[in-house]
Structure 1
Amino acid sequence: MKISQKLWFQLHGWCSLPVWLIFTAVCLTGTIAVLSHELTWLFNENARALNPQNLPAKPVAELVAAVQQAEPTAAVTSVMVLEPYLVTAVLFTTETMPAAIAYVNPYTGVVQEINPGINFITFMRSLHGWLLFPWQHSYSVGYYLVSAMSLLMLGALITGLIIYKRFWQSFTAPKLRLHQGKKTVLADLHRLAGVWSLWFLLLMSLTGLWYLVQAVLWHNEVEFSYEVAPLSSLYVPAPVADGDALQTVPAMIPLAQAVARAQQFLPELKPAFVAMPEHPRDYYRISGYGDSIWFDQYSYNVWINPWTGEVADTRVPAQMGALETLMSVADPLHYGTIGGLWTKAIWFAFGLLVSGMAITGFMIWGSRTIRGAAGREARERVETAMTAPQQIPTLSRTTDSSAGASQ
C-alpha cells in the first residue's frame, strides 16, 4: 500500500508535536549542558583555575588535604578532576552540609569556593537527563521521558527525509527565500536545518536509544557494568586494644599512596575521578581516561586495597563487553567531549540548530492549523450564504400571505 505525501507529513508532525514542549526543552537543556563547564568558567570566577606562574598540577592528595584544612570536620567522598582551565571539585560531607563541593585550584591548592548545594553543571545535566524527576527503585520517570525522545527524533528524521524530495540538493544549492513571506522563510529554515543536521540527529537518536535501553536494564536490575566484589572480612584488620579496653581500627593507607600505586600499575591512566572507601570492605577506586578518545573519562579503573595498598582489580576498554562498551562511548558521542573544547563547540552549534528546527516546525504547524481553521470558517460562511437566499422567498411569501389575510 502506497502512503500518500499528506500522510507522511502528518506522521512527521506527530513525531514531535504531542510532546513538543518536552522535546524542545530536552534539546535546549542538552545544548547548554554540552558547555556547562565552560559557562561555569565564564560566569563564576571562583571556578577558574588561574595559573599565571605556569605551575604544575598538584597531586590529588594535596588538594584533599587543603579541603580538610579549610573544613576540619569534612569527610571527603570523592574527587573530580575537570578540564585544565577549571578547578578540581572535591566532594565532601559535614554535619551541616550533607553534600558539599569544594572548588580547589589544582595549581595553587587554594580552596576558592565551597558550594553547599547543587551547582550549575550538575543542575543542567540532571535537568537534561531526567527533568529533575526523582529516582526510586532504580528508575526515574523523567529518565524514561527524555530517552524516549530518541524514538520521536528518529521518526521525525525518517519521515522528514521522505517528505523532502531530493534533500541532498540542500548541501550543494541551499535555498532560503527571504522575500516570499513568513511561511516560506520558516519552511526553508526548517528544511535546511534538518538536512545539515542529519548526522547530528542520527547520532542523538542512537545514543538516546541506548539511554532508553540502559534505563530498562537498570530498572530490571540487569548487571552490565563491571563491579568488584567487596573485600572479604577476613582481610579487614581487626580492631586492636589501646589500653583501658579501648579498641582502634588500623588506619587505611594514605590517598597519595593509592593513587601512585594505581598509576604505577596502569601507566596510561590519567585520573579523573577518585572515590574514597565508603566502609572497611570497600576500595580506593581511581578512574580516568587513557589513549582512546572514544571512551569516557571513567573507562580506565583501578581498585586499590585500602589496607595493604595492593591492586585488587583493574578494568580497561579492551576488557569490556558489548553493553559496557556502549555505556562508555555513549556520553562522549552524545555530549561531544571526544575532541575537547572544539568538538563541544560543534555539538553546541548543532544543538542550537536542532532546537531552532523544533521551534520552526511548531511555528509551521501552528500557521497551518490557523489557516486550516480560518479556511473552515470561510467555507461555513459561504455555505451559509448559499443557503440563505433559498429561505428568504419563503419568508416573504409567508409574510405576504399573512398580510393579505389580515386585510
Structure 2
Amino acid sequence: MNRAKWFKVHSWVGFKLSILLSFTLVTGTLAVLSHELDWLTNSAMRVEASSVDKLDWLAIYKSAKAQQPNKHFLYLSAPLDPWFAAEVAYFDTEDTNHRNFFHPSTGEYLGDGRWYNWQRFFRMSHRHLMVPTKIGVTIVGALGFLLFVSLVTSLVVYRKWWTGFFRMPRRSHRKLFWADVHRLAGVWSLWFIAIIAVTGIWYFVEVWGLRADYPDRGKAHSEQAVDAKVLPSLTVFAKMLAQVEKAYPELTVTRVFFPQRNGDGVVFQGQADAILVRPRANMLSFDPISGELLVKNQGVNLSIHARLSEAADPLHFGTFAGFPSKVLYFIFGVVLSTLAISGTYIYGMRIARVPKSQPVSRAQFWRAATKTMTWGKWFSIVAIVVCLVITVLLFGGFITQ
C-alpha cells in the first residue's frame, strides 16, 4: 500500500467520528484533574497542608460516626494530597450517596459535598457516556482502535517523523501552518497516544469477557455480620488498624470499605510494593464484629493478567506518580484533544472548494468537514446529546443509577 493510501486511512479513521473522539478526549483530559476541580469549588475539601501531621483513621471514623450516627458508610478515603481533606461516603435512608469531609489528622468535620460532582461527571461521561456500562465502554473503547490505527498510519505518512520534534510551523499559508502544528503536536504525543489507545482497547476487551480474576476478599464469620451489613465499633476498628500495621507494614492505606452486603468484611486497601496497581490490589479484609483477619492479598502476587488489568487505570489517567504525573497527562491531553480538532479542520480545508475570488471563511471549512462525516456526525451528536441529557437527569435527581 502506497503512502497516499496510508494517508487516506489516516484521514478516515481520525475524521468520521472526530466529534465523538474530541468529546471523549476533552472529558478525559478534564477527568485527570477533576478531583482538583472539586477541591477548587468546595471549600470543605480544603485544608492547610501545614496543619496535617499523620493521617488518623480512627479520629476520622469516630468523627464520622458522631456526625452521621444513624447512617451506613460506604468508605473512608485518604486525602489525595496534603492540601485535601479526608472523605467519608455514606448512604441516607433512601440509599442515596453523600460525602462528608474531615481534617486528616484531627478528624474535625469540615463540611459536605454532592455525590455527583465534577469528578463523577467527567469520569462517567468519559468512561461510558452515562449510558449502561457495557454499551458505553464498548463505544468509547472502540475509539481506542481508531487512535491506534491513527498512530500507526501517521508514522508511515509522516516521513522521517523523528526529525520533526523541533520543526516549527510555517506561517506562509494557513493550510501549511495547521498541517505543521498537527505534525508537531503528533510527534511529541506519540508516547501518550500509544498509552491511551492501548489502554482504551484493553477496557474494550475487558468489558467483552476478558476481565481478570482476583483473589477472594473473604466472608465474615460472626453471626451478626453474616445476617446483616454492619459497621465495626470504634474498639474493633482500632483493633483492625493495629492488625493492618502488624500484618502488612508495607501497606499505605488509602481507602477503607465497609460491608455493602450481608457477610462482607471491612476492607483496607492501599499501595505497597507492587507498581502500577490500583489500591484494591493490596488489601486486608476483617470481620466487622470480631475484627478477625479474613484475607490478606498483595499486588505482587497477582496473576500476569490481573497485573495488566491493574496497570490500565494508572497508565490511562496518569495517577502513578501523584499530582506531577496528572499535570503531565493533563498537558498532553490538551495536546491530543487539539490533534483531533485540528485534524478535522485540516481535512475541511482540503475538501472545501472556495473560489479564489471569494474571501476565505473558517466556517466554510468546518461545514465542509462536518458534511463529509455523514453517519459519523449524527452518531457522535446523538451519543453526546444522550450523555448530556442523562447527566442533567441524574445530577438533578430525576433518575438514579
Q: SS of the counterpart of 1:339?
A: coil
Aligned 8 A contact 1:50 1:105 in 2? no
Alpha-carbon separation, structure 2, partners of 1:132 and 1:279 = 25
> Which letter does structure 2 place at the counterpart of 1:224?
D
Cα-to-partner distance string for 1:103-138 (whole Å, 9 max, x where unaligned)? 222133222222243121122111111111134xxx
Aligned to 2:143: 149
| Paired position in structure 2 for 1:225 | 214
- What is the Cα deviation at residue 301 of structure 1? 0.7
**Aligned to 1:226, what secondary structure does the other structure show?**
coil
Range with greater deviation from structure 2 (292-301 or 314-323): 292-301
User: Quick check: 81-90 or 275-284, which moved more?
Assistant: 275-284
The equivalent residue for 1:242 is: none
| Higher CA-based Rg | 1
1:255-285 deviations in whole A, cap 9, x for unaligned? 2222321222000111111111234522111
Q: 1:305 Cα shift?
A: 2.2
Residues 34 and 347, structure 1, Cα contact 8 Å, conserved in 2: yes
The whole-number CA distance in structure 1 between the counterparts of 2:284 and 2:232 is: 21
**Any idea what SS the aligned residue of 1:303 has?**
strand
Deviations 1:148-171 (A, max 9, x none): 111000000111111111111112
| Equivalent-residue separation in structure 1 for 2:223 and 2:278 (angstroms) | 35
Aligned residues: 350
Deviation sequence 1:228-260 (CA, Å, 0-9, x none): 3434xxx43379xxxxxxxxx997662222232
Which residue, out of 53, 57, 60, partners 1:60?
A: 57
Residue of structure 1 equivalent to 2:39: 41
Q: How does 1:105-254 map to 2 (within 5 A)?
A: 105-135=103-133, 139=134, 141-171=135-165, 173-178=166-171, 180-217=172-209, 224-231=213-220, 235-237=221-223, 254=236
Hey, what's the Cα distance between the residues in 2 that align with 1:14 and 1:123? Answer: 30
* In structure 1, C-alpha distance between the alignment counterparts of 2:116 and 2:258, rounded to whole Å: 20
TM normalised by structure 2 equals 0.81
CA distance in 2, matches of 1:9, 1:193: 17
Give the direction of change, closer, same or farther, for the CA distance of 1:115–1:170 in structure 2 (3 Å limit). Answer: same
Superposed displacement of residue 198, structure 1: 0.7
Q: Which amino acid aligns with 1:146?
A: V
C-alpha distance in 2 between matches for 1:251 and 1:11: 59
Structure 1: runs of 5 or more not aligned: 240-248, 376-407
Distance 1:116 1:55 in 2: 24
Give the one of 21, 26, 30 matched to 1:32: 30
Question: Is the contact between residue 44 and residue 112 of structure 2 (CA under 8 Å) also seen in structure 1?
Answer: no
Name the CA shift for 1:251/1:70 in 2 (closer, same or farther; >3 Å): closer
Distance 1:323 1:82, change over 3 A: farther
CA contact under 8 A between 1:64 and 1:76: conserved in structure 2?
no
User: In the alignment, what sits opposite 2:376?
Assistant: none
Match of 2:19 in 1: 21
Rounded to whole Å, the distance in 2 between the matches of 1:275 and 1:155 is: 40
Distance 1:297 1:251 in 2: 22
Partners of 2:91 and 2:290 in 1: CA distance: 26
TM-score (structure 1 length as normaliser): 0.80
> Whose relative contact order is higher, 1 or 2, with alpha carbons under 8 Å and at least 6 apart?
2
Report the Cα offset of residue 92 of structure 1.
0.4
Which of 71, 75, 82 aligns to 2:72? It is 75
The SS at the match of 2:73 is strand
1:340 maps to which residue?
322
Alignment partners' CA distance in 1, 2:30 and 2:231: 47
SS in 2 for 1:92: strand
> How much has 1:22 moved relative to structure 2?
1.2
TM-align CA RMSD: 2.4
**Given the alignment of the two structures, is residue 267 of structure 1 paired with residue 265 of structure 2, yes or no?**
no
Instruction: Decide whether the 8 Å contact of 2:13 with 2:149 is kept in 1.
Output: yes
| Percent of residue pairs bearing the same amino acid type | 27
Q: State the distance in 1 between where 2:117 and 2:231 align.
A: 36
Deviation at 1:185, TM superposition (A): 0.8
Partner of 1:398: none
Cα distance, 1:82–1:216 mapped onto 2, change above 3 Å: farther
Whole-Å separation in 1 of the counterparts to 2:217 and 2:232: 22
Aligned residue type for 2:170: R
* 1:263 to 1:327, Cα distance in 2 relative to 1, 3 A: farther
Q: CA deviation at 1:298?
A: 2.8
Which has the higher mean CA deviation after the structures are superposed, 249-258 or 199-208?
A: 249-258
